[in-house]
Amino acid sequence: MNKKKILISGGSGFIGSHLCDFFVKNGDIVWCIDNLITSKRKNVENLLKEKNFIFIEKDITYLNEDEIDEKFDYVLHFASPASPCDYLKYPIETLRVNSIGTEKMLNIALKSKSTFLFSSTSEVYGDPLIPVQNEEYWGNVNPIGLRSVYDEGKRYGEAMVMAYHRKYKLNTKIIRIFNTYGPRMRLNDGRVIPNFIYNALNNQPLPIYGDGKQTRSFCYIDDLIEGIIKVLEIDYNLPINLGNPEEFTIIELAEKIEKIFEKKLGFKFLPPMPDDPRKRRPDITLAKKLLNWEPKINLENGLKKTISYYLSC
């Protein structure tokens, strides 16, 4: 099989590092670029000794694209804070990496005639007014709310990607990633699954923002990576939802954690997060049809794998 050369921004982040693993193991040449703002070098430590892996510590928004003169098969743009806590802490950086950063990565892809993939998000749907979100839904986003730095940043990024596709015929892909979890998520990254596991490991009550009746659908990282690889191989340029359609309330998730840990931890109700979407569930009909893909790992098994990872750290 033909080996590929791949540039991944955000390659030492949670999703990016799993992609680096996949491609390096496959024998491809991987250039990983990351400023480590919300990620850890440790995520790619195991790859640093591989001769087909190159790590560059840099903020892509300050990258001079003209200095990169490589021919990449794929340019994958995964750099961005992604946890609400992180993007509330780094609002300007979040907007910049999804605007300036996206443009710079697109320019690299254009120069080297690469396939370009933009990691977008279910947050483009905002606080959805329909129970299950398909790709045709335009969303319900507060453009000036606290979450807007991420939501609007990603929406702008999608618009920029489509503009490059339409104007320059660049082979672009957009994936809208729904809540994903698994090994290498920082235990203190603020998202619900690592937060619950952290509290369970410390015998603390599980923090629930708001009434806990809001829903999310959680996809295990291995399923997501399989979906991303498939997206790269098909001839389709419009956004594709990737996520697990099994939907849970946050209270149901907390109960699952208690069951797995076999502990009665109790819940601590806290004020709701600003503009917190009430429901989120992907319609993955398109992904099923185009990719012949659907998640295989259910929440309970995925949580057990994730907990084992944290226990082994």
Residues marked active site are found at 150
Nearest C-alpha neighbor of 52 from the set 76, 80, 22, 9: 22
Q: Residue 192, Cβ neighbours under 10 Å: how many?
A: 22
- Residue 84 or 227: which CB sits closer to ligand UDP? 84
Nearest C-alpha neighbor of 81 from the set 70, 73, 72, 91: 91
Q: Does 109 bind ligand UDP (CB under 6 A)?
A: no
The residue from 24, 170, 197, 250 that contacts ligand UDP (CB under 6 A) is 250
The residue from 22, 137, 209, 248 that contacts ligand UDP (CB under 6 A) is 209
Residue 276 beta carbon to ligand UDP: minimum distance, rounded to whole angstroms:
5
Residue 207 beta carbon to ligand UDP: minimum distance, rounded to whole angstroms:
4
Alpha-carbon Rg for the chain, nearest whole angstrom, is 19
- Residue 72 or 90: which CB sits closer to ligand UDP? 90
Q: Does 84 bind ligand UDP (CB under 6 A)?
A: yes
Residue 286 beta carbon to ligand UDP: minimum distance, rounded to whole angstroms:
21
Q: Does 195 bind ligand UDP (CB under 6 A)?
A: yes
Sign of the C-alpha dihedral computed for residues 40, 44, 49 and 53 taken in this order? negative
Q: Residue 177, Cβ neighbours under 10 Å: how many?
A: 23
Q: Does 205 bind ligand UDP (CB under 6 A)?
A: no
Q: Does 117 bind ligand UDP (CB under 6 A)?
A: no
Q: Which stretch binds ligand UDP (CB under 6 A): 2-10, 109-117, 189-197, 259-267?
A: 189-197
Q: In the numeric block, which tokens belong to residue 157?
A: 């990024």
User: CB-based burial of residue 170 (10 Å sphere; 0-12 exposed, 13-18 middle, 19+ buried)?
Assistant: buried
- Residue 141 or 250: which CB sits closer to ligand UDP? 250
The residue from 94, 119, 214, 217 that contacts ligand UDP (CB under 6 A) is 214
Q: Are strands 247-249 and 215-217 parallel, antiparallel or unpaired?
A: antiparallel
Q: Does 192 bind ligand UDP (CB under 6 A)?
A: yes
Q: Does 13 bind ligand UDP (CB under 6 A)?
A: no
Q: Which stretch binds ligand UDP (CB under 6 A): 53-61, 134-142, 156-164, 190-198?
A: 190-198
Residue 91 beta carbon to ligand UDP: minimum distance, rounded to whole angstroms:
15
- Residue 250 or 287: which CB sits closer to ligand UDP? 250
Interface residues with ligand UDP (CB under 6 A) are: 83-84, 179, 190-192, 195, 207-209, 214, 216, 250, 273, 276
